[in-house]
Amino acid sequence: MVRYSGSVATSTMNTTARGRRLPGRPQNLISTLNPKSLQTADYMDLSSRKCVWTRFKHKSNSDGSRSIFRYFHEGRHLVPFPGKCAGFLYYHRDSHAAPLEGGLRFRCTPDNLPTSFSSGYDLLWPTGVPWQVIVPQLARPTYQQFSDQLLRENLASQTQISQCRELFGAAKVVPSLILFRLGQEFPVNFASPVALTIVGEKRHTVVITDIFTAYAPPGGFSRSAPATPGFQNLELDERQLRERRRVYPFIGSAVARFEPSMVDGRRVLHMRILRLVRPVVSAFLNYKGRLLEPQEGELLTVSPRGGRGAPEPWKCDLSRRNNTAAGLRALWDVSQTL
C-alpha cells in the first residue's frame, strides 16, 4: 500500500464526542452509507484487524444480520487492515459513473467527527487503487443488508441491483474491481499480463498478455542484480532468453487508465501510467527492446516494429476481431453514452 498514513484521535467504540464513549452501544453498528448523513457514532476503527463485522441499527435491514469485511488476500494469506486505519464506511459513486458503477469505500479521517470527512483520504489496497466493495458484490446475498440500505437511502435502485444479479448470476466470485467505462483507474503489474473484467451490455473477461513484454534477442539480455524488493518474485526462464521468447523487461507496479484516440480513422485505446506504486526497475542491464520504461504521468510507449522510427504510444486497435478488442469496445461504447 502506498498511502496509509493518518492519525486517529478516538477508537471506534461508540463515541459522541472526541474521546468519550457511550456505554452499551454495539461495536460497528452504523446508521448510514450516505457521507452527507454521517454521525459520530458511525466512526469505525479497523486498525490491524483481519476481519470486521458490521451491521445497521435499523432492525428492518435483513433481520439485523451482520456482514464481514476483509482487507486483502495475498495468495492464501489474509492481510489485515493497515495500522492507523479509522474513519467512516460510505457509498461512493462518481458523478459521471456508468449505470452499474459505485461501491462502498472507507474514508480514513483524523478524528471521529463527520466534518473531518472532507479532509480524510480513501483507504487503498496494496495495488494503489481504493479499497471497495462494488455494487455487483453488494447485490449478492452475503451483503443483503447493504443493498437494503442503499435502497433505503436512495443511493442505488432496484434496477441496478437486479441487473447486477442477472449479469453475475450464481458466480461464486465477483471481481473486486470491474471496469464500466473509460477513465476508470485500475492497477497494473509490469511483470504480468493485464487481466480485467469489463461490464457493458454484457460481461467480458479481457487478458492483455503481451503489453509489458519484449522479445529477448539472440544471446539474451544480462540480468540485473536482485537488489530491489520484489525482484525475487520475477520469474525469468533461461529458455525464454535463449529461444527469443517474450520476457518482462521491467518490474514495478502502477495505477493506470485507458484513454481513447482516433488513428487513421480507427478507434484505438492508449494506456496512461497515472502514478507508480512500486518503482520501475529494469530486469536486464543491457535491455534495448520494444517496450520503453514506463513513466509516471505518461502514456505507455513502445518502439515501432522493426526498431525504425520514433517511439509511439502503445495502442489497442478496437477494430480487431478478438476478445480483447470486443471488451475494450464495450468500454468505449458505454463511455459515449455518459
Q: 31-35, 242-246, 280-284: which range is least confident on average?
A: 242-246
Q: 121-125, 140-144, 226-230, 273-277: which range is least confident on average?
A: 226-230
- Residues 66-70: contacts with CB under 8 Å, at least 24 apart: 66/145, 67/142, 67/143, 67/145, 67/146, 69/133
User: Taking 90 as the threshold, does the pLDDT of residue 117 lie above it?
Assistant: yes
pLDDT tens across 41-90, in order? 999 999 999 999 998 987 555 555 678 899 998 888 999 999 999 999 99
pLDDT at residue 63, as a whole number: 55
C-alpha cell at 128: 494503489
- Report the percentage of the chain scoring pLDDT > 70: 81
Q: What is the pTM of this model?
A: 0.84
Half-sphere exposure (Cβ direction) of 120: Cα atoms closer than 13 Å? 28
Q: 3-state class of 333 per DSSP?
A: helix
| The pairing of beta strand 29-30 with beta strand 51-56 | parallel
Predicted confidence band of residue 97 (pLDDT cuts 50, 70, 90): very high
Please say whether the beta carbons of 21 and 10 come within 8 A.
no
pLDDT tens across 189-248, in order? 999 999 999 999 899 999 999 999 988 766 666 666 554 444 444 444 455 444 457 889
Q: What's the mean per-residue pLDDT of the chain?
A: 85
Going from N- to C-terminal start, the domains of the chain cover 15-168, 186-336
Mapping DSSP onto H, E and C, the string for 167-218 reads HHCCCCCCCCCCECCCCCCEEEECCCCEEEEEECCCEEEEEECCCCCEECCC
Please say whether the beta carbons of 130 and 123 come within 8 A.
yes
Rg of the chain over CA atoms, in angstroms? 23
Task: Kindly state the DSSP code that residue 80 receives in the 8-state scheme.
Answer: P
